[in-house]
Amino acid sequence: MGKMLESLKNTDRAVYDAVINETKRQREGIEMIASENFVSKAVLEVVGTTLTNKYSEGLPNKRYYSGNKYIDVTEQLAINRAKKLFNAEHVNVQPHAGSQANAEVYFALLELKDKVLAMDLSHGGHLTHGSTVNFSGKFYTMEHYGVDPETGRIDMDQVRKKALEFKPKILLSGFSAYPRKLDFRAFQEIAEEVGAYHMSDIAHIAGLCAAGVHENPVPIADVVTTTTHKTLRGPRGAMIMSKIQDRLKPNDKKNLAQKIDSAVFPGMQGGPLDHVIAGKAVAFKEALEPDFRKYAEQIVKNAKALAEVFSENGVTMVSGGTDNHLILLDVEKSFGIMGKEAETVLDEVHIFTNKNMIPGDRGTPFNPCGIRLGTPAITSRGMKESEMKQIGEWYVRTLKNPSDESVKQKVREEVLEFIREFPLYPDLGY
Ligand code: DSN
pLDDT, tens digit, for every residue of 395-418?
999 999 999 999 999 999 999 999
Q: Residue 134 in 3-state DSSP?
A: coil
pLDDT, tens digit, for every residue of 105-150?
999 999 999 999 999 999 999 999 999 999 999 999 999 999 999 9
Beta bridge partners of 240: 92, 225
Amino acid at 367: N
318, with CB counted inside 10 A (0-12, 13-18, 19+), is: buried
Phi, psi of 134, rounded to the nearest 5 degrees: -105, 160
Number of neighbours of residue 134 by Cβ within 10 angstroms:
18
Nearest in space to 279 (alpha carbons), one of 42, 86, 103: 42
Is residue 102 lining ligand 1, measured as CB closer than 6 Å?
no
Residues belonging to the active site = 55, 57, 201, 227, 230, 236
Would you identify the CATH topology of the domain 46-287?
A: Aspartate Aminotransferase; domain 2 (3.40.640)
The average confidence (pLDDT) of the chain is 97
The vertex-352 CA angle with 127 and 99, nearest 5°, equals 20
Atom of ligand 1 nearest to the CA of 33: 4
Atom 2 of ligand 1, nearest CA residue:
35
pLDDT, tens digit, for every residue of 21-46?
999 999 999 999 999 999 999 999 99
Atom of ligand 1 nearest to the CA of 372: 4
Compute the distance from residue 181 Cα to the ligand 1 centre, in Å: 18
Q: Is the dihedral of CA 112, 114, 118, 120 positive or negative?
A: positive
Contact 281, 77 (CB under 8 A): yes
Ligand 1 pocket check: which of 100, 102, 122, 126 to mutate, most ligand atoms within 8 Å of Cβ?
Answer: 126
State the span(s) of the chain assigned CATH 3.40.640.10. 46-287
How far is it, in rounded angstroms, from Cα 232 to Cα 210?
8
Q: Is the dihedral of CA 43, 44, 50, 56 positive or negative?
A: positive
Q: In what helix (H) or strand (E) does residue 116 lie, and over which residues does it extend?
A: strand 115-119
Cα maximum dimension of the chain: 69
Residues in Cβ contact with 250 at an 8 Å cutoff, skipping those fewer than 6 apart: none
Beta bridge partners of 203: none
Quickly count helices (H) and strands (E) in the chain. 17, 14
| The pLDDT of residue 50 is above 80 | yes
Mean pLDDT throughout 80-86? 98
Is residue 176 lining ligand 1, measured as CB closer than 6 Å?
yes
Q: Residue 380 in 3-state DSSP?
A: helix
State the span(s) of the chain assigned CATH 3.90.1150.10. 293-419
pLDDT, tens digit, for every residue of 335-377?
999 999 999 999 999 999 999 999 999 999 999 999 999 999 9
| The pLDDT of residue 1 is above 50 | no
Pairing assessment for the beta strands 326-330 and 238-242 based on DSSP bridges? unpaired
Q: What is the pLDDT of residue 3?
A: 79
**Superfamily designation of domain 293-419:** Aspartate Aminotransferase, domain 1 (3.90.1150.10)
Q: 9: number of CA atoms within 13 Å, CB side?
A: 9
How far is it, in rounded angstroms, from Cα 154 to Cα 173?
10
How far is it, in rounded angstroms, from Cα 410 to Cα 428?
30
Contact 133, 345 (CB under 8 A): no
Compute the distance from residue 62 Cα to the ligand 1 centre, in Å: 33
Amino acid at 306: L
Burial 360-393 (b: 16+ CB within 10 A, else e): ebebeeeebbbbbbbbbbbbbbebeeebbeebbe
Ligand 1 pocket check: which of 96, 176, 353 to mutate, most ligand atoms within 8 Å of Cβ?
Answer: 176
How far is it, in rounded angstroms, from Cα 398 to Cα 349?
8
Atom 5 of ligand 1, nearest CA residue:
176
Atom of ligand 1 nearest to the CA of 128: 7
Compute the distance from residue 35 Cα to the ligand 1 centre, in Å: 6
Atom 3 of ligand 1, nearest CA residue:
35
Is residue 98 lining ligand 1, measured as CB closer than 6 Å?
yes
How far is it, in rounded angstroms, from Cα 147 to Cα 178?
9
Compute the distance from residue 176 Cα to the ligand 1 centre, in Å: 6
Contact 198, 118 (CB under 8 A): no
Q: In what helix (H) or strand (E) does residue 239 lie, and over which residues does it extend?
A: strand 238-242
Q: What is the pLDDT of residue 347?
A: 98
Omega cis (within 30) before 179 = no
Atom 6 of ligand 1, nearest CA residue:
176
pLDDT, tens digit, for every residue of 269-318?
999 999 999 999 999 999 999 999 999 999 999 999 999 999 999 999 99
How far is it, in rounded angstroms, from Cα 370 to Cα 335?
11
